A = this chain, B = another copy of it.
Amino acid sequence: MALEHAILAVLTRFPHSGYELAKKFSSVGFFWMATHQQIYRELSKLESQGWVNFETVAQVDRPNKKLYHVTELGKQELAKWIAEPSEPTAIREDLLVKVLSGYLASPTVLAQELERRRQIHQEKLQFYRGLVEENYAIADFQTLSPEAKCRYLTLRRGVRYEADWVEWCDEALQILRADLG
């Protein structure tokens, strides 16, 4: 399971509350999706394993929060896990099932769905590209610290992923367009 390790990875950079983690893990800007319920449950487990601990931070005009930190044990666990080989994530994509059997529905319906998906991916792509420009507008990536290189590479994966979807949607629409009459 990588959710627990994804949380450790985020907490290694900065301490976060459950609420803050939940926002990160549900935003387009992140490559691991999880709901707040998953986060809170994992945090309890991580704490009972001694991989994280928390301090309660009192706040004025808003609820107090629990700020979680990674422990040394947590960092060791994360490093250990990184060294283990892992398989590619199984692909489970609704849209591909729909395209495979798309000839059963009207061509218009399928084309609309592809247009819609194209737009979603286009928006994510622009968001990611904005992050690249803001944070990595440099000529030589070798000047980055190892940590910054690692973060850049995950962002780069996001850019490629979304761009690839947009291009495929365009291909698909072009091939299906002739059937729209």
**Which residues of A line the B interface, CB within 8 A?**
2-3, 5-6, 8-9, 12, 31-33, 75, 78-79, 81-83, 85-105, 107, 109-110, 113, 116-117, 120-121, 141-142, 145-147, 149-154, 156-157, 160-161, 164-165, 167-168, 171-172, 175-176, 178-179
Contact = CB atoms under 8 A, between A and B. Distances in A.
Looking at chain A's contact residues, the main secondary structure is helix
Contacts of A93: 2, 31-32, 88-89
Nearest to A113: B85
Given A86-B98, A97-B2, A171 B156 contact: yes
A23 to B, nearest CB: 15
Q: How many copies does the complex hold?
A: 2
Given A101-B12, A171-B153, A88 B95 contact: yes
Nearest to A83: B109
